[in-house]
Amino acid sequence: MRTIQMTIEKSLLEEVDKAAKLSGKTRSAFTRDALRKSLLEIREKLLEKKQIEGYRNHPTSTGEISVWETEQVWVDW
């Protein structure tokens, strides 16, 4: 692990410290988790954007999805 230094507003630091204490984590652990979560959200948004662009570039055809409609029927046993 690497030690870093960063600048942060006092009010934000106070919120981080409160949240870290409530979660039972150190400030560093809480901050690492928050950064991981933020990075995951960014990756998910990029993948979603890529998927949307894919469907725009290659839209589904009229019958492409309807062919699976019978597979969605659940039979009572």
pLDDT tens string for the chain (77 positions)?
Answer: 999 999 999 999 999 999 999 999 999 999 999 999 999 999 999 999 999 999 999 988 877 877 777 777 787 87
**Quick one: CA torsion of 21, 25, 31, 36, rounded to 10 degrees?**
-130
Q: How many residues does the chain have?
A: 77
Cα-Cα-Cα-Cα dihedral sign, residues 33, 36, 42, 46: negative
Rounded to whole angstroms, the Cα distance separating 42 from 48 reads 10
Q: Domain segments of the chain: what residues?
A: 10-58
Q: How far is CA 30 from CA 2, 42, 58, in A?
A: 16, 18, 42
* pLDDT score at 65: 79
